[in-house]
Structure 1
Amino acid sequence: MTDERRNLARRAPASYGKPAGEGLRARLFEIIFESDTPAGRRFDKALIVVILLSILVVVLESVPSIGARYAATMHVLEWGFTLLFTAEYIARLACVRRPLRYATSFFGVVDLVSVLPTYVSLLVPGSAVLLDIRILRLLRVFRIFKLTLYVEEYTRLGHALAASRRKIMVFLSVVLMAIVVLGTLMYVVEGPENGFTSIPMAMYWATVTMTTVGYGDITPHTHLGKAIASCMMLLGWGILAVPTGIVTAEMTSQRLGRRGPRTPERGCPGCGSTGHDPRARFCKDCGAALSPPSDPAA
Structure 2
Amino acid sequence: MSLFHIIPDRHDVVQDHNAPKDKNSFRHKLYVVIFQNNTRAGRLFNVGLFLFIFASIILLILESVESISIAYDKVFDIIDYVFLIVFSIEYLLRLYCVRDAKKYALSFYGIIDFLAIVPSYMEFFLPNWHMLMAFRCFRLLRIFRIFRMVRLLDESRYMMLALLRNFNKILVFLFFIVLLTLFLGVLLYVIESPYNPGFSSIPQSVYWAIVTITTVGYGDVAPMTIGGKMIASFIMILGYAIIAVPTGMLSAAVVTKYRDMDNASRTCPHCHNKNNASDALYCKICGTPLSDNMKQK
TM-score range, shorter chain: 0.7 to 0.9
Identity of aligned residues (%): 37
8 Å contact kept, 1:28–1:95: yes
8 Å contact kept, 1:194–1:219: no
What secondary structure, in the 3-state scheme, does the structure 1 residue paired with 2:254 have? Answer: helix
What secondary structure, in the 3-state scheme, does the structure 1 residue paired with 2:208 have? Answer: helix
Unpaired stretches in structure 2, ≥5 consecutive residues: 1-8, 264-273, 288-297
Cα deviations by residue, 1:70-101 (Å, 9 ceiling, x for unpaired) = 22322232222223223323332332344455
Distance 1:256 1:72 in 2: 58
Distance 2:236 2:101 in 1: 55
Unpaired stretches in structure 1, ≥5 consecutive residues: 265-276, 280-292
Instruction: Kindly report which structure 2 residues correspond to 1:13-28, keeping only aligned pairs within 5 A, or say none.
Output: 14-15=17-18, 17-28=19-30
State the match for 2:246 in structure 1. Answer: 243
Q: Which moved more, 1:223-232 or 1:99-108?
A: 99-108
Instruction: Kindly report which structure 2 residues correspond to 1:121-200, keeping only aligned pairs within 5 A, or say none.
Output: 128-191=130-193, 193-200=196-203
TM-score when scaled to structure 1?
0.74
Distance 1:170 1:176 in 2: 10
8 Å contact kept, 2:211–2:218: yes
State the match for 2:227 in structure 1. Answer: 224
Q: Which of 275, 280, 293 is equivalent to 1:261?
A: 275
State the match for 1:210 in structure 2. Answer: 213
8 Å contact kept, 2:120–2:130: yes
Aligned-pair CA distance for 1:107: 4.2
State the match for 2:284 in structure 1. Answer: 295
TM-score when scaled to structure 2?
0.74
8 Å contact kept, 1:187–1:198: yes
Cα deviations by residue, 1:208-260 (Å, 9 ceiling, x for unpaired) = 10110112222111122112111211111122111111222233334334424
Distance 2:191 2:37 in 1: 62
Distance 2:46 2:12 in 1: 18
Q: How many residues align?
A: 267
Aligned-pair CA distance for 1:57: 0.8
Distance 1:263 1:191 in 2: 63
Aligned-pair CA distance for 1:165: 3.2
What secondary structure, in the 3-state scheme, does the structure 2 residue paired with 1:235 have? Answer: helix
State the match for 1:40 in structure 2. Answer: 42
State the match for 2:14 in structure 1. Answer: 10
Q: Which moved more, 1:231-240 or 1:78-87?
A: 78-87
Is the radius of gyration larger for structure 1 or structure 2?
1
8 Å contact kept, 2:276–2:283: no
Q: Which amino acid aligns with 1:94?
A: Y
Aligned-pair CA distance for 1:31: 0.7
Cα deviations by residue, 1:185-214 (Å, 9 ceiling, x for unpaired) = 211110164322233322221111011011
State the match for 2:266 in structure 1. Answer: none
Instruction: Kindly report which structure 2 residues correspond to 1:91-130, keeping only aligned pairs within 5 A, or say none.
Output: 91-103=93-105, 107-108=109-110, 110-112=112-114, 114-115=116-117, 118=120, 128-130=130-132
Aligned-pair CA distance for 1:108: 4.3
Change (3 A) 1:128 1:208: closer
Q: Which amino acid aligns with 1:137?
A: R
Change (3 A) 1:178 1:77: same
Instruction: Kindly report which structure 2 residues correspond to 1:59-78, keeping only aligned pairs within 5 A, or say none.
Output: 59-78=61-80
8 Å contact kept, 2:36–2:42: yes
Q: Which amino acid aligns with 2:233?
A: S
Distance 1:254 1:107 in 2: 26
